[in-house]
Amino acid sequence: MIFALNRLGIEPALTSNPTELLAADKIILPGVGHALTAMNALKAKGLDKLIPQLKQPVLGICLGQQLMCRFSEEGNVPCLGIFDVEVKLFPATEKVPHMGWNEVKHNETGLYANLKSNERFYHVHSYYVPVIPATTGVCEYILPFSASMQKGNFFAVQYHPEKSGKAGEKVLESFLMGN
């Protein structure tokens, strides 16, 4: 993620310090890992209470999106509760994890303002967020799921924009420059 931001001319600060987070213009909650472990780490620093109260734009990526939900089946853990939805394990009717490039259908606004619908993004995940009213992009693998969501200043994507070529770069630019 840091290299993707550097390519956009951004020098990110990597921090879990509450004072620094409150002072930041924008925040990215990246994610690779396990929901229970990640939530325990956030709780240990009091970030589970801080993050939902943030007023600046926040982008959750992959596990970051899932942590923004109410609950995750991965570790059966309560999460941040920004989006009132439960993260589910994909049914094992196909190969899990979902891995690779897939189309995302979206409305060409917000994070997708500079993209046409049906762009392809890189996904790696075994858990998914069902489609809800806050969904801004839908992908299909086994079933339709929320590839992206937005609620106020909180944005979330299931895919990895930093690994998604030009389309992912445009999503990051929209978040960093446009919101």
Active site residues: 62, 160, 162
| CA 168 from centre of chain | 12
Q: Is the CA virtual torsion 75, 80, 83, 84 positive or negative?
A: positive
d(CA 13, CA 26): 11
Beginning with the edge strand found earlier in the chain, give each strand of the sheet holding 83-89 in spatial order: 77-78, 69-72, 83-89, 127-128
d(CA 80, CA 161): 22
CB 103 within 8 A of CB 118: yes
At residue 65, φ and ψ (nearest 5 deg) are: -65, -45
Q: Which residues have CB under 8 Å from 19's CB, separation 6+?
A: none
CB 168 within 8 A of CB 61: no
